[in-house]
Chain A
Amino acid sequence: MTELARTRPESFFADRFNLTESLLARVLGGNLLARADDADVYLEYRVNEELQLEDGAVKKASRHVSQGAGVRALSGTRTGYAHTDDISLQNLEEAARQARAIADRASTSGVVAVPSRGRPHDLYTLAEPPFETDLAKKLELLRKVDGAVRAADPRVTQVIASLTGEEVVTLIATASGWTVGDVRPLTRLNVTAIAEERGRREIGTYGGGGRVAFDFFLEDERWRRFAREAARQAVLKLRAVDAPAGTMTVVLGPGWPGILLHEAVGHGLEGDFNRKGTSAFAGRMGQKVASELVTVIDDGTIPNRRGSLNVDDEGTPTGRTVLIEKGVLVGYMQDRLNARLMGMVATGNGRRESYAYPPMPRMTNTFMPAGEDDPEDIIRSVKRGLYAVSFGGGQVDITNGKFVFSASEAYLVEDGRVTVPVKGATLIGNGPEALSRISRVGRDLKLDEGVGTCGKEGQSVPVGVGLPTIRIDDLTVGGTAV
């Protein structure tokens, strides 16, 4: 696998599939652009390795290769897309013929250049890509994680630890006449602990990673922290009481609880839903949609983060897009199609799961900058409420703005003090309303450890979130204690 990271994407596809830039330009120019407003050819080669430990030994190992090409023609609001996993000039030309069929009946005004900002970044070139690391070192790490979880607490009965590494090479030939490639590493260490006590069982999960090398997990013994966190969560939940039910003050801890932003506002500010007018935020540009303490930014340019990209999957360099500034809606996340139709700038948010899908507006790393409050003060300000520090997944209904996210580690707050842990519960609210009720923002911004995967219309992409400690007045907590 070593050749992947060492070659430029342009020469990778030329060497392997005889697809030179000039041939790609021929597919684009001759077949697609004559009839379309915009078009592109996307080539992808992906290798993936997973090692999994359970019962104290690494018994599962797998390696996967996937490759393919997608050809897209855009005309007005229409998209023609064809993909194949057999990359050859003949198949690309056939795909181009299928993709452009959609544009045949539409009138065309030639290619509409969508302005994009800047040049591609260099955010994650690694000295040692994940596949070059010796397998023995990876197996050793998983065994050490197993030992650390079990040593953390005698109530741990099972440990499942997995280490995944991926490398994706892409090459995008765009209608604006330039060809741009990217090599994207992605690694992740995930630790699950099952704990048992007196017939009660619980699960704790922790992990992280990013566009980083294997050594990332060794720095400051990060792996040991992940192991201890998984064990701590599992054991803690053994004594959790029923979560409260009803509307109350909620304090979110820093880091991963930033999933609130992803669900409550992020999706609602993706260009497609706003162009179509189906988002609860549609038509509210320039209006106040949140408390003035709230600023929300999507930034695809943070080095080595899971959600970062040098260029998006349409060849547009990623950027830092302010979505909400001091409570006022100021920006959307755009791909080329929606930027063109809305007369806006493509923000580098056009992403796809793989060659098998056309791109659409997606988030990268979405976070709220730090405020001024002491996190301890924020908790002290709550008479009765919930303090939630870790979450499972979340979901949003774009159209009515209702979002949920499920706490996996949470506590009661009573008279300004964090007291007993409560069982997992889903929190539910309305995006704009919940943002308007943010009354305190801590100075402790943290980005998550690198675990997020976002799903939209059947496509999954890696993302990041970040949040300082915040207080939300009145959010509905879906527990069972009435």
Chain B
Amino acid sequence: MNMDLLVSVLARAVAQGATEADGYLVEDSAFSASVRLGDLETVTHARDARLSLRVFAGRASAAASTSDLSRESLARVVDEATSLANVTADDPHAGLPDPADLIKGVPDLDLADTSPEETPEAKIEVARRCEAAALESDPSITNSEGAEYYDRRARYVYATSQGFARGYTTTTFGISVSPVATRNGQMQRDSWYSTARKRGGIEDPAAVGRTAAARAVRRLGARKVKTAEVPVVFDPETAASLLRSLAGAASGPSLYRRASFLLDRLGTKIAAPAVTIVDDALIPAGLGSRPFDGEGLPTARTVLVREGVLGSYLLDTYSARKLGMASTHHAARDGNGVSVSTSNLMLLPGRATPSELIGSVRRGLYVTELIGFGVNGVTGDYSRGAVGLWIENGELTYPVEEVTVAGNLLEMFQAVEGIGADLVLRDRTAAPTLMIGRMVVAGN
């Protein structure tokens, strides 16, 4: 029914004088519950819908979106977008993708759970078990920021004024917990989580709780270290954040604005030969999977970096045309129109176990958390706050905090000296343990 709503909105845009238009409708319903120190804290129920629209007047365009799906509000949004498109400047690269390239049949990627809905009480109990396991697993866990359970069901529909309309449904389930450990007046918080497309895909809540507790406890007694240039081993969570930064620099808008350290690097060596990074939108039940992108184009497996060589950029139709290339089908929709996003982005695993990687380091830092925003996407300059454990003679010793790790992303990827075998798709971006030969750790 709401596919019809979207189609009628696009028809109105054309009737108002638009040469073409496309639109995206997201309808979702969500539930979340948090528990703290065993007691229920917050329960949230949500039901939302948002229709976003892109309207072209020849080579000029404008975007609009609304959460008010009443007939009169939709009519007004269409009219405003159409009149806005008449005042923006012409852009030779603007326009919809070639209709011949649009997806034909939508593959079933198994993205929605079909099991019966559970009661709120049962869901709250999942969060409670998760937190209880964290609180019970170690006597130094004295407090908690709480545990959360959430689920979300979303329906996505994309349509163009030329008669294309396709949709798909996803579900997401997740739990997370943040226990606080205390010793000698020092408090440390850490957290752990599990996320899945299917209810049954969530890890055992008690195991998630115990992992979170162990992570918080191992930070007790953390201290600064002396400033030094040493090897740095990133755990899978922090290694994944390096991929996100790389993907940002590989995205079309950064490139056509010449605001990327990957500019003019396609086909050149940007990482150590052991590094292969893929973005695969078609993984069954994958957290980042999608059958088509935000412009109706069929998605695929893109090799971003093949054995150290930059193999592809991440492009939507507009940025591809600006760069004289073809879309890689990475368009994402947001309120302001079209942007670029990855799907399931991962660095392929190597053969080493994490302890072999740590064991190969005489003196260095094992990083388990990064904070702050010190990444310059134009130059690749990198400087972030870090938490972790100090490596001495191949062994993890005491916990470390209040230090920074700094370098340059291009140099860091070239200096990858070890890749773990421990890749797990815990999230839509994932990496195995990663060892970088040399970075500056700043402390005392």
How far, in Å, is A45 (CB) from chain B's closest CB? 9
Contact A102 B257 (CB under 8 A): no
List, in ascending order, chain B residues with CB within 8 A of A398's CB. 189
Within 119-178 of B, Cβ neighbours of A (below 8 Å) are at: 120, 143, 145
- Any B CB within 8 A of the CB of A428: yes
Question: Contact check: which of A139, A404, A480 meets B371 at CB < 8 Å?
Answer: A404
Contact of A402 among B44, B84, B385 (CB under 8 A): B385
- Interface digits, A119-137 against B, CB 8 Å rule (1 contact, 0 not)? 0000000000000000110
Q: Closest Cβ of chain B: how far from A99's Cβ, in Å?
A: 8
Extra inter-chain contacts (14) besides given A276-B145, A402-B402, CB under 8 Å? A59-B89, A62-B337, A68-B67, A78-B42, A83-B48, A98-B43, A194-B259, A278-B180, A280-B187, A356-B46, A400-B188, A404-B372, A476-B224, A478-B406
**In the complex with contacts A202-B379, A426-B385, A428-B404, A60-B336 CB distance below 8 A:** yes
CA distance A222 to B383 in the complex (A): 32
B388 CB, nearest partner CB in chain A, Å = 13
B 393-426 contacts with A by CB, 8 A: 401-408
Complex: how many Å from CA A312 to CA B134? 35
CB neighbours (8 Å) of B63 from chain A are 60-63
* Interface band, chain B: 35 or more
Pairs across A and B, CB under 8 Å, 22 listed: A63-B81, A64-B335, A66-B50, A85-B47, A85-B49, A98-B43, A101-B120, A158-B259, A194-B378, A201-B378, A201-B379, A280-B187, A356-B48, A397-B189, A399-B180, A402-B371, A402-B402, A404-B374, A423-B376, A428-B372, A478-B384, A478-B385
A-B contact count (CB 8 A): 260
- CB <8 Å contact, A278 and B187: yes
**B108 contacts partner chain A, Cβ-Cβ < 8 Å:** no
Which A147-201 residues have a C-beta within 8 angstroms of B? Answer: 157-158, 160, 194, 196, 200-201
Choose from B68, B120, B373, B379 the contact partner of A65 (Cβ within 8 Å).
Answer: B68
Most A C-beta atoms less than 10 A away, residue of B45, B228, B378, B442: B442
Contact B440 A482 (CB under 8 A): yes
* Contact in complex: B77, A63 (CB < 8 Å): yes
CB-CB contacts below 8 Å: B253-273 with A: 257-259, 263
- Using Cβ atoms and an 8 Å threshold, which residues of chain B touch A62? 62-65, 81, 84, 335-337
B60 within 8 A of A: yes
State A482–B442 Cα separation when bound (angstroms).
8
B355 within 8 A of A: no
In chain B between 23 and 67, which residues have their CB closer than 8 angstroms to a CB of chain A?
36, 39-50, 60-67
- Judged by DSSP, the binding face of A is strand
> A428 near B188 (CB under 8 angstroms)?
no
Whether A59 pairs with B88 at a CB distance below 8 angstroms is yes
Decide: A81 and B84 in contact? CB cutoff 8 A.
no
Contacts of A78 in B (CB 8 A): 39-43
A400 to B188, CA, bound (A): 6
Interface assignment of B8: CB less than 8 Å from any CB of chain A: no
Give 3 nearest A-B pairs by CB, closest first. Answer: A478-B404, A57-B89, A404-B372
CA distance A397 to B402 in the complex (A): 11
> Among the listed stretches A110-118, A240-248, A343-351, A375-383, which one makes contact with chain B, having 4 or more residues with CB under 8 Å of it?
A240-248
- Per the bound structure, the CA–CA distance linking A207 and B377 in Å amounts to 19
In chain A, what residue has the closest Cβ to B404? A478
Task: Kindly provide the distance from the CB of B55 to the nearest chain A CB, expressed in whole angstroms.
Answer: 10
A217-259 interface code vs B (CB 8 A; 1 in, 0 out): 0000000000000000000000000010111000000000000
Q: Among A289-297, A322-330, A388-396, A465-473, which stretch is in contact with chain B?
A: A388-396
Interface residues of A in 74-109 (CB under 8 A from B): 76-86, 95, 98-99, 101-102
Within 8 A of B (CB), among A24-66: 50, 54, 57-66
Residues of B with C-beta under 8 A to A278: 143, 145, 180, 187, 189
Say if the beta carbon of B91 comes within 8 Å of chain A: yes
A459 → chain B closest CB, angstroms? 12
Cα A65 to Cα B81 with chains together (Å): 12
Residues in A whose Cβ lies below 8 Å from that of B442: 245-246, 428, 476-479
Report the separation of the CA atoms of residues A379 and B405 in the bound assembly, to the nearest whole angstrom: 27
Cα(A313)–Cα(B65), bound, Å: 24
A286 at the interface (CB under 8 A from B): no
Contact B187 A399 (CB under 8 A): yes
Residues of A within 8 A of B69 (CB): 86
Known contacts A57-B91, A400-B188; is-contact A81 B43 (Cβ 8 Å): yes
Instruction: Judge if B359 is at the interface, Cβ distance under 8 Å.
Output: no
Residues in A whose Cβ lies below 8 Å from that of B403? 428, 476, 478
CB under 8 Å from chain A, chain B span 75-94: 77, 80-81, 84-85, 87-89, 91, 94
Closest A residue, CB atoms, query B93: A59
Residues in B whose Cβ lies below 8 Å from that of A243: 383, 406
Chain A positions within 8 Å of B36 at CB level: 77, 276
- Which listed residue, A57, A246, A400, touches B444 by the CB 8 Å rule? A246
> CA–CA, A246 to B440, complex, Å?
10
Which A residues are in CB contact (< 8 Å) with B303? none
Return A105 CB to nearest CB of chain B, in Å. 9
Residues of A within 8 A of B46 (CB): 82-84, 356
Q: Is A424 an interface residue (CB 8 A)?
A: yes
A399–B143 alpha-carbon span in the complex (Å): 11
**Using an 8 Å CB-CB cutoff, how does the interface string of A394-420 with B read, 1 for contact, 0 for none?**
111111101011100000000000000
Which among B80, B224, B404 is the interface contact of A63 at CB below 8 angstroms? B80
